[in-house]
Amino acid sequence: MRRDIVSYVALGDSFTEGLDDPYPDSGDSPYGRYRGWADRLAEHLAEHVHEVRYANLAVRGKLARQIVEAQVPRAVELNPDLVTLCAGGNDILRPGSDPDQLAGVLERAVRRLSATGAEIVLFTGMDPGFQPVMRHLRGKSATFNMHLRAMADTHGCRVVDLWGMRALRNPGAWSWDRLHLSTEGHRRLALRVCEVLGIPADGDWNSPWPAEDPKPWRVARQDDLQWAREYLVPWIGRRLTGRSSGDGVPPKRPNLERLR
């Protein structure tokens, strides 16, 4: 990072696209204009170098294989100094997915990106134990994380340990859909990535959350039912029909452009 111009490419799915952290001026875009931790990371970088050129190729709903096939070749073509790659979350959610095979898909991408000489940052999966509906995925996520750490050691990548970020287990870190980070969650994650990269940034990603009284049992169950109707049922419907929330959605920053 000790240079006048830094180029950065972010790869991934909705987690890296920035859902649900909208810009105040999202306007009339059919997909909204999301900020997210990757945009925030680029902004932190811009505080320390003369110029940051930034591309974000992430698209919501994409599986690891789709990210590897569509985004990685473009990243290699752009030849950036820094690449963040977060993939596999949508795969882990799917019944029958194999974390061993998933890791193999991702390692091919890491090998190809490493050959460019870029600094690569990988992300472990989060611990789903704090989400009752997803608690059964802990074994798959933990297996995938072990593979990811091994490939990071092999290829000299940095790792952001989402599993160990207890600050992200607070409900305030998540939006209403319980699948995407809130604005505060994205802010904290950007600070954590800065820490991993050794980039000075104001703020503490691990600062205590404000104390909140627990919801009464009846209110919590009503929230669960509403969440299931609005998010879980449509998600299952897309899986059964082979559709994705990212169908027809283009990358928000397909080219390396100067951050303003």
Q: CA 23 to CA 42: how far, in whole Å? A: 15
- Going through the chain in order, the beta strands assigned E by DSSP cover 5-12, 51-56, 82-86, 119-123, 158-160, 253-258
- The predicted model scores a pTM of 0.90
**Three-state DSSP state, 47:** coil
When pLDDT is averaged across residues 69-93 and rounded to a whole number, the result is: 96
Q: What are phi and psi of 173, to 5 degrees?
A: -80, -5
Q: What is the DSSP letter of 199?
A: -
Domains of the chain: 5-258 (3.40.50.1110)
**Quick one: pLDDT band at residue 94, thresholds 50, 70, 90?**
confident
Bond into 20 cis (ω within 30): yes
Determine how β-strand 5-12 pairs with β-strand 82-86.
parallel
Is 37 exposed, middle or buried (CB count within 10 Å of its CB: 0-12, 13-18, 19+)? buried
How far apart are the two ends of the chain, measured CA to CA in Å?
Answer: 18
Look-up of token digits 């669960």: 224
Decide: 13 and 60 in contact? Cβ < 8 Å.
yes
pLDDT tens sequence across 208-259:
998 776 778 677 677 777 767 776 677 667 766 766 776 778 999 999 999 8
C-alpha angle with apex 161: 9 to 72, nearest 5 degrees? Answer: 25
When pLDDT is averaged across residues 18-33 and rounded to a whole number, the result is: 70
Q: CA 52 to CA 132: how far, in whole Å? A: 40
| Total residues belonging to the chain | 260
The structure tokens listed for 134 are 């997803």
When pLDDT is averaged across residues 2-12 and rounded to a whole number, the result is: 90
Whether residue 76 is predicted with pLDDT greater than 90 in this model: the reply is yes
Q: What are phi and psi of 161, to 5 degrees?
A: -85, 90
Decide: 135 and 99 in contact? Cβ < 8 Å.
no
Decide: 34 and 68 in contact? Cβ < 8 Å.
no
pLDDT, position 236 = 67
Q: CA 164 to CA 162: how far, in whole Å? A: 5
The structure tokens listed for 159 are 């790792």
Q: CA 84 to CA 172: how far, in whole Å? A: 25
